[in-house]
Structure 1
Amino acid sequence: MGAAPALQELREVCQPQAKLASRNGEHWMGRLYMRRVSLRVTRHLVRTPVTPNQLTWTMVVCGVAAGAALLIPGVPGALLAVVLFQGFLLFDCVDGEVARWKRVTSATGVYVDRLGAYLADAALMAGAGFRAAQSGAGGWVSLGLATALGVVLLKASTDLVDVARARGGLPVSADDEATRPRSQGVAAARRIAAAFKIHRVTNGLEASLVLLAASLADPAVGGVGATRWVLVALAAVTWVMVPAHLLSILSSSRLR
């Protein structure tokens, strides 16, 4: 198989600064620590026959399994969901790094990557609904599924910008300036929301940590009371963001 490439050489090829610096292209956990871990995993994987698409499918499995893990009662299930979502992030980093090193790219890989992001976050919210309904209250399952739907709509509204631009004959917009709303009122609201970063809880990585904290608090509250309060908060934030995000897109220059 040959010697493993040096980390510095691998970093220059697999972790281009343009991607790492992108506000929308790199999760903050990736910048903070996961890229350091992923590079060491990639260093060994590039010497194997494994393909980027196989790694992307592994990412998808980790994400969906994280939602299923919440069906396990108590802290063990919530902790397993966190671990699996960290695996999701790891393989989300590794698949692209292996693709860049091997110079193998495909539309299939991009498609499965986006599909995985939808499925993972939706599965976690749905899993939270089933966890909250462990004492038999079926309405919590519906709330979890509604939150999952909201998360999917948030992601879809962002991805549909690229679809609309492509079908309208416009180039892909990579300029952050284009994402800024033209309306001063909408822009101010967007800055406030960004300052508090409350929108991050709609992402499965952050939501899994919040749900773990809730599982630790559940015994003190009684039953799954803390988990239920967290689910209500997740649903509220998600469904406030759905119309707000749509308004932000329509009032910006992204579709022009």
Structure 2
Amino acid sequence: MTRVVLLGASPGPDTSPTGLRLAALPGNPTVAERLRSQLASVDPQFATVQSGDVAAMLRDLADVADSATESLFIIPENSVVHDELIYQITKSKRGALALVAKEARFGTTEEAQEDNTPEDTGPEESVPIDEADPEIGRETVEGLLVRARVGKSRVVSVGTATHGVTRPNAVLLGPLHVSTRNAPVLAETCRELAAMAHTFGADDDLVQLIVFGLVRNGVSVGIRGRRDLFYRRVTTQEEVNEAGPEMAAINEDRARLNNAVKGADGFFTTYFVSTYSRFIARWAARRGLTPNQVTLISIVLGVAAAACFATGDRPWMVLGGVLIYFAFVFDCVDGQVARYARKFGVLGAWLDATFDRFKEYVVFAGLAVGWVVSGNGDDIWILALAAIGLQSVRHLLDFSFGAANRRRKPPSKLPTVPLDSPDDRDLRQALVRRKEERSQGLRGVLKMWTKAGKFRAVHWARKMIVFPIGERFAAIAITAALFDARITFLTLVIWGSVAAAYTLTGRLMRSLV
């Protein structure tokens, strides 16, 4: 569950959206009516922080955070937003996540640069960022002052009307997700901010102030852009009139469908399955098929493939290769149906994990039987058992490492600085020292290997070397259809052994840092 907190208008001019209507949407709802109906699906009894002076609003938010037993989703009441964007932000696994928009500057791209590397900017920004002086942001993006500095994945620092920030490059649009473990920090931060509210300016945004405090108190606030979805704060009917058609012009269903595909899949899955399986998933979801029913289709196809392999005849082996491929396709589709239709359950997760192994092992048995009935001898069972044993050990290591990781202490906090520090110099210097410390020893090796992933060839090589399920099913389908069971098992054992060694090495290194 998620605890939703609806923020009244930020300090400054009254921006209450009462009466502002989205004429482009069915029913001509007001901005407030539409947002409240959207939030009710997330939290039927969401909290509301009424408009008022900034200190009172911060104290009210602190009280909500104090009583929270789940993650918090904070959003201004004058927000026009897609349902799918709300869903994606509230499902974030980060300790904190903010929606941002980057300022367009000469020579920069939409992608943020590493914070401690110089940027290719215009003449007015020829000074490297390490030598730049903090400033009070005066530029605006979508009516919000540019007073945040963001890197590739998180907010580096935030300024206010009285707190300088080094080379600000983004605005905090509004939605903010804070995990349960950071709720106590949020409560404490809001009370500290309330005590120093007199130092803020009338143009300081409430969400900006919250993130300002969280970052200075050591919370890693991740960032995401709107991507292919819509979000905008509105303050006038003219802005509402612009926002309605803009939002309606974006295909929210396509974004939802794309989000149903896992972003961390392997090479084979990404290029030979997910390019079209998402459309099968949408078709299935719209006709009421459940993820578990799709899982059963995958199981039936896997068993049919094993039966084809068990004949040992070449035409049936080819058909078995085709069937095991589509068994994997529907194995992907069941998860995509769950994410697209938002139908999740413990039974479904258990079925998916369990019968993935069942399909593999029954296919191994079918291949071995087919080899024997073709008169090639029964020594193939040694290879079959080796493949089963190796894959079983790999899965045991995967699940045990995952369980151990969940019990690990949370990551160490980022450096902290006093909230009344006039700029972010001390914070940035502390971040540089932290970066240098984390670039030594095993941690440095792991970091270097992680950075190497920015090269596509390295990225996909790392994905393939671990021999994920997509590559395994592809190897079975291709080698069984074109060669024979012996080649299939040798491929599985050799590639699987390399994958096990690579994975075990990486996990041992991560366990030691």
Q: Verify same fold: TM over 0.5.
A: yes
Shift of 1:250: 2.1
Structure 1 residues 37 and 233, CA, compared in 2 at 3 Å: closer, same or farther?
A: closer
What is residue 375 of structure 2 aligned with on the other side? 135
Shift of 1:243: 4.9
The one of 258, 279, 282 aligned to 1:15: 258
Letter in 2 for 1:60: I
What is residue 163 of structure 1 aligned with on the other side? 403
**Mapped partners of 1:100, 1:197: distance in 2:** 25
**Mapped partners of 1:68, 1:199: distance in 2:** 28
Letter in 1 for 2:254: R
Given the two structures, how large is their TM-score scaled by the length of structure 1? Answer: 0.69
**Mapped partners of 1:104, 1:47: distance in 2:** 13
Shift of 1:71: 0.6
Structure 2: 5+ residue runs without aligned partners? 1-250, 412-441, 450-457
Q: Deviations over 1:103-134 (max 9, x none)?
A: 21112212211112222222333333223323
Instruction: Name the structure with the higher strand share.
Output: 2
Structure 1 residues 33 and 230, CA, compared in 2 at 3 Å: closer, same or farther?
A: closer
Is the Cα–Cα contact under 8 Å of residues 129 and 231 in structure 1 kept in the other structure? Answer: no
**Mapped partners of 1:169, 1:198: distance in 2:** 26
Is 1:90 aligned with 2:355?
A: no
What is residue 45 of structure 1 aligned with on the other side? 284
Structure 1 residues 27 and 144, CA, compared in 2 at 3 Å: closer, same or farther?
A: same
**Mapped partners of 1:243, 1:31: distance in 2:** 24
What is residue 66 of structure 1 aligned with on the other side? 305
Shift of 1:46: 2.0
Structure 1 residues 199 and 105, CA, compared in 2 at 3 Å: closer, same or farther?
A: closer
SS in 1 for 2:278: helix
> Greater Rg, structure 1 or structure 2?
2
Structure 1 residues 203 and 107, CA, compared in 2 at 3 Å: closer, same or farther?
A: same
Structure 1 residues 10 and 153, CA, compared in 2 at 3 Å: closer, same or farther?
A: farther
What is residue 489 of structure 2 aligned with on the other side? 231
Shift of 1:147: 1.0
**Mapped partners of 2:408, 2:463: distance in 1:** 36
**Mapped partners of 1:69, 1:135: distance in 2:** 17
SS in 1 for 2:311: coil
Structure 1 residues 195 and 162, CA, compared in 2 at 3 Å: closer, same or farther?
A: closer
Is 1:248 aligned with 2:506?
A: yes
Q: Using CA pairs under 8 Å that are at least 6 residues apart, name the structure with larger relative contact order, 1 or 2.
A: 1
What is residue 108 of structure 1 aligned with on the other side? 347
Letter in 2 for 1:123: V
**Mapped partners of 1:115, 1:212: distance in 2:** 26
Q: Deviations over 1:70-121 (max 9, x none)?
A: 1122322222222222222221232222222322111221221111222222
Is 1:154 aligned with 2:394?
A: yes
User: Alignment identity in percent?
Assistant: 23
What is residue 210 of structure 1 aligned with on the other side? 479
**Mapped partners of 1:233, 1:14: distance in 2:** 35
Structure 1 residues 42 and 21, CA, compared in 2 at 3 Å: closer, same or farther?
A: closer
Structure 1 residues 100 and 152, CA, compared in 2 at 3 Å: closer, same or farther?
A: same
Shift of 1:252: 2.4
**Mapped partners of 2:409, 2:316: distance in 1:** 46
* Count of matched residue positions in the alignment of Structure 1 and Structure 2: 219
CA RMSD of aligned residues (A): 3.4
Shift of 1:241: 4.3
Q: Deviations over 1:22-60 (max 9, x none)?
A: 1xxx23233214223223322322222321111123223
Instruction: Name the structure with the higher helix share.
Output: 1
Is the Cα–Cα contact under 8 Å of residues 55 and 91 in structure 1 kept in the other structure? Answer: yes
**Mapped partners of 2:488, 2:286: distance in 1:** 44
Letter in 1 for 2:268: M
The one of 351, 354, 361 aligned to 1:122: 361
**Mapped partners of 1:196, 1:56: distance in 2:** 24
